[in-house]
Amino acid sequence: MKIIFSHQNFPAQFGHFGAYLARCGWDVTFFTAAEAAKPPEGCRMVKMAAHREPGAETHRYLRGLESAVLNAQGFANSAMRTRAKIPAPDVVVAHSGWGSGSFAKAVWPEAKFVSYAEWYYRWPPRDLEGGAPAQGAEDGRAYTIARNLPMLLDFDQADRIWCPTAFQAGQFPQAYRDRMTVRHDGVDCEIFAPAKAWIEGVPEDAELVTYATRGMEPHRGFPEFMRAVAALQKTRPKMHAVIAGQDRVAYGEKLPEGESWKARMLEELDLDLDRVHFVGLLPYSRYRELLQASQAHVYLTVPFVLSWSMIESMAAGCPMVVSDTAPVREVVTDGSMAEIVPLRDAAAVAAAVARLLDDPDMARRKGEMARRRVLAAYDRRWIWPARAQELAELATDMAS
């Protein structure tokens, strides 16, 4: 089987799965705009890039579409330049919404095309509380319709659509769901498994509370977590909080230039900073150790794309505090797996963390139940073979 994966980033959703297919004997090529990316063993990699940015005069509704078309053109140009060096694919899998593979069938019209779809935008936005900046509701609805155009371009050609969770799939119009397979990307439950670990710089007798994020923002409950830490510090002198992630807004409304949610929380709260450790983005091995060492890991989110980190935390057997929001409740189905709290209730977050710290046996049982859930529903050891079979059947259908 010959397959091409196309994504602006790497490894993202495709890198590790593609390497698995190569080990299984597939012919695997990655297209990516990530300049520093290196191909996994046994795979090829082709770099692609848009030749310019969207025009300054482009209508603001259409800037996302123009950017996606430019990315799609960059993919197609790279594909044509390398077409003599790589075999024609049976299947092309592309991350949709950014144009990464939108012109795959322009280059290889006989190939099957799989659209990997994460989010369909609606008004008012599900991912932003209180709506989003717009010149009235009509403007917001119009902008939202246009925002989905790159995705719809891919869907028009897609032979199959992949979506990682039922919550995310539920955002898409019903017309596209007949071609949609809802299946998570899968986590490595051998790497993310319970083990003894500790974090350098934290006392060995500390009560260790953890939080991991791409960006420190309300979207992922960062202000509520920090307010909970401030409250807990007043009654738990041995409690230390370790926060992994960057001081930026990855999702949601941006702050004015020079401001950050970290700075706002440090100004708002009376914190003992000797017991708050900002460790930045961690290498994979240290991130895993953070989860394995945690005595109470907090994951909060608005109703949006679910972070891999929540499922990785569950696989590691973390005692967890999670938000009572739809994407989380799809995975954490009941209170046997985690403490479930309202998203914007910092006092409830603090109380739930305290319950886990006060009752280590109960916390351990919840971590064990969480891992069982991940092994049954999110373990890549069965998800990857299932995906491979689906792709092989799709290509075989083409050949027949």
Q: What does the domain layout of the chain look like in residue ranges?
A: 2-186+380-399, 207-377
368-399 in b/e form (b: 16+ CB < 10 A) is: ebbbebbbebbbbeebbeebbebbbebbeeee
Q: CA-to-CA distance for 111 and 89, rounded, in angstroms?
A: 6
Q: CA-to-CA distance for 110 and 350, rounded, in angstroms?
A: 56
Helix axes 360-377, 308-315, angle to 10 degrees: 120
Tally of residues, the chain:
400
Do 309 and 366 meet the contact criterion of CB atoms below 8 Å apart?
no
Residue 285: CB atoms within 10 A of its CB come to 9
* pTM across the whole model: 0.93
Do 320 and 299 meet the contact criterion of CB atoms below 8 Å apart?
yes
Residue 113: CB atoms within 10 A of its CB come to 24
CA distances from 353 to 16, 228, 340, 356, 357 (A): 34, 9, 11, 5, 6
Quick one: CATH architecture of 2-186+380-399?
Answer: 3-Layer(aba) Sandwich (3.40)
Backbone angles phi, psi at 286, to 5 degrees: -75, -35
Q: Which bin fits 363, alpha (ψ -120 to 50), beta or left (φ > 0)?
A: alpha
Cis peptide bond upstream of 283, omega within 30:
no
Closest CA to 103 of 144, 156, 142, 51: 156
Residue 66: CB atoms within 10 A of its CB come to 19
Query: Tokens for 306?
Result: 């679910």
Q: Do domains 2-186+380-399 and 207-377 have the same CATH topology?
A: yes
Give the type of residue at 357. Answer: L
pLDDT in tens, the chain (400 residues): 999 999 999 999 999 999 999 999 999 999 999 999 999 999 999 999 999 999 999 999 999 999 999 999 999 999 999 999 999 999 999 999 999 999 999 999 999 999 999 999 998 877 655 545 567 889 989 999 999 999 999 999 999 999 999 999 999 999 999 999 999 999 999 999 999 999 999 999 999 999 999 999 999 999 999 999 999 999 999 999 999 999 999 988 889 999 999 999 999 999 999 999 999 999 999 999 999 999 999 999 999 999 999 999 999 999 999 999 999 999 999 999 999 999 999 999 999 999 999 999 999 999 999 999 999 999 999 999 999 999 999 998 854 4
Backbone angles phi, psi at 267, to 5 degrees: -75, -40
Quick one: CATH architecture of 207-377?
Answer: 3-Layer(aba) Sandwich (3.40)
